[in-house]
């Protein structure tokens, strides 16, 4: 099979290579998927740049997200799954074979049926961003009737978070860094939108919530927002965070959080309980079936342009999905 792989850490242009490999054979409890589209996320590039999994594997075929058709199953998997359209979760998480290839093998549960209403392109957008959005919103319980503040509402995760929060019946406040992105958030259904570069976010949030603050804050930049966050969240509220690239080792104003009894929940979707993953898959599919998810695709490349696609993610040039056609 055709695939892209790396066997040392570094930039895509230096270490991401093309090669031919035997098609992987599904083990018991696994399925083999013939891929149509692969999705690339920042986490895929970070894994390659750090090489953090190369100690466990001789080489790695990257990319966690994708969509395609099941063409073989291992023992203990229903043979009726052969021919089923699916979207994938965590294809390369703790495994050497991701979706930058013609075929990949994943656990049966991580090949999620793709509703007839959704295309392979839409399916490849999901995975990491959509599951992260679900966990960020619902990891601390239901949000119906609550107020939710979303930082970075037009990013890959943010736009799904915004749409899921609205579907769940929350009051949605979202931030972005430009007038154009604020308009985009409003179009996606946000009740209130603010430009964090020009607006006073603290004053705006407190005015909307009658001085109490929001019930939940879903944050893409924990370290950069750590001083402001306790001023925006109400007593007994919750801050969920899935990133801190700008300040990886932040100084936490502990007492600001403690005296308001604010829960901080930092999470990784790859390590969360299986029950939570299944709940996310179900919720996402329900939204797909009703056409309730709007997807932003910034670039869609050919298979021969895999390295270019990775380079665009490395440069942080994209807010929407970055996809590569496999077949």
219 and 293 part of one domain: no
pLDDT at position 59: 95
pLDDT digits (tens, 9 = 90+) for 95-154: 999 999 999 999 999 999 999 999 999 999 999 999 999 999 999 999 999 999 999 888
Number of domains in the chain: 2
pLDDT digits (tens, 9 = 90+) for 52-75: 899 899 999 999 999 999 999 999
223 and 257 part of one domain: yes
Contact 326, 36 (CB under 8 A): yes
161 and 262 part of one domain: yes
pLDDT digits (tens, 9 = 90+) for 256-276: 999 999 999 999 999 999 999
Residue 134 lies inside a defined structural domain of this protein: no
Residue 274 lies inside a defined structural domain of this protein: no
Residue 318 lies inside a defined structural domain of this protein: yes
Q: Domain with 63 in it: what CATH number? A: 3.90.180.10
240 and 207 part of one domain: yes
80 and 156 part of one domain: no
Cβ burial, residue 117 (10 Å; 0-12/13-18/19+): exposed
Range of the domain at 300: 2-127+284-325
170 and 100 part of one domain: no
pLDDT digits (tens, 9 = 90+) for 163-215: 999 999 999 999 999 999 999 999 999 999 999 999 999 999 999 999 999 99
Q: Domain with 218 in it: what CATH number? A: 3.40.50.720
63 and 149 part of one domain: no
pLDDT digits (tens, 9 = 90+) for 3-51: 999 999 999 999 999 999 999 999 999 999 999 999 999 999 999 999 9
Confidence tier at 319 by pLDDT (50, 70, 90)? confident
- Whether 317 has a pLDDT exceeding 80, the answer reads no
pLDDT at position 318: 73
Residue 135 lies inside a defined structural domain of this protein: no
147 and 258 part of one domain: yes
63 and 111 part of one domain: yes
Residue 279 lies inside a defined structural domain of this protein: no
Residue 49 lies inside a defined structural domain of this protein: yes
Q: Calculate the average pLDDT of the chain.
A: 96
Residue 262 lies inside a defined structural domain of this protein: yes
48 and 162 part of one domain: no
198 and 252 part of one domain: yes
Q: Going by C-beta distance under 8 Å and a sequence separation of 6 or more, which residues neighbour residue 11?
A: 49, 311, 314
Confidence tier at 316 by pLDDT (50, 70, 90)? confident
Q: Going by C-beta distance under 8 Å and a sequence separation of 6 or more, which residues neighbour residue 196?
A: 151, 175, 176, 177
247 and 304 part of one domain: no
Residue 171 lies inside a defined structural domain of this protein: yes
């Amino acid at each position: 099979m055709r695939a892209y792989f790396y066997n040392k850490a570094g930039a895509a242009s230096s270490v991401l290579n093309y090669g031919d490999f035997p098609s992987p054979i599904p083990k018991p409890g696994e399925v083999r998927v013939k891929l149509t589209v692969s999705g690339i996320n920042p986490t895929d590039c970070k894994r390659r740049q750090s090489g953090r999994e190369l100690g466990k594997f001789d080489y790695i075929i990257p990319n966690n997200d994708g969509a395609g058709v099941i063409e073989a199953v291992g023992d203990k998997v229903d043979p009726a799954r052969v021919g089923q359209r699916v979207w994938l979760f965590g294809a390369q998480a703790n495994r050497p074979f991701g979706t930058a290839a013609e075929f990949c093998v994943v656990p049966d549960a991580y090949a999620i049926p793709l509703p007839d209403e959704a295309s392979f392109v839409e399916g490849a957008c999901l995975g990491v961003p959509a599951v992260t959005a679900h966990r960020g919103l619902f990891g601390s319980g239901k949000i119906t009737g609550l107020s939710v503040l979303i930082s970075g509402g037009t990013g890959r995760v943010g736009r799904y978070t915004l749409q899921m929060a609205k579907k769940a019946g929350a009051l949605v406040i979202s931030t972005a860094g430009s007038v154009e992105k604020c308009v985009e958030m409003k179009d996606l259904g946000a009740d209130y939108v603010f430009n964090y570069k020009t607006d006073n976010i603290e004053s705006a949030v407190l005015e909307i919530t009658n001085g109490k603050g929001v019930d939940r804050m879903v944050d893409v930049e924990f370290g950069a927002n750590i001083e402001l966050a306790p001023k925006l969240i109400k007593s007994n509220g919750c801050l969920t965070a899935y990133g801190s690239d700008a300040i990886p080792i932040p100084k936490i104003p502990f007492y600001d959080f403690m005296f308001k009894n604010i829960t901080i929940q930092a999470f990784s979707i790859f390590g969360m309980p299986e029950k939570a993953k299944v709940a996310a898959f179900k919720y996402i599919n329900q939204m797909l079936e009703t056409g309730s998810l709007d997807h932003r695709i910034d670039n869609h490349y050919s298979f021969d342009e895999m390295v270019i696609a990775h380079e665009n993610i490395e440069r942080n040039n994209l807010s929407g999905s970055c996809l590569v056609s496999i077949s």
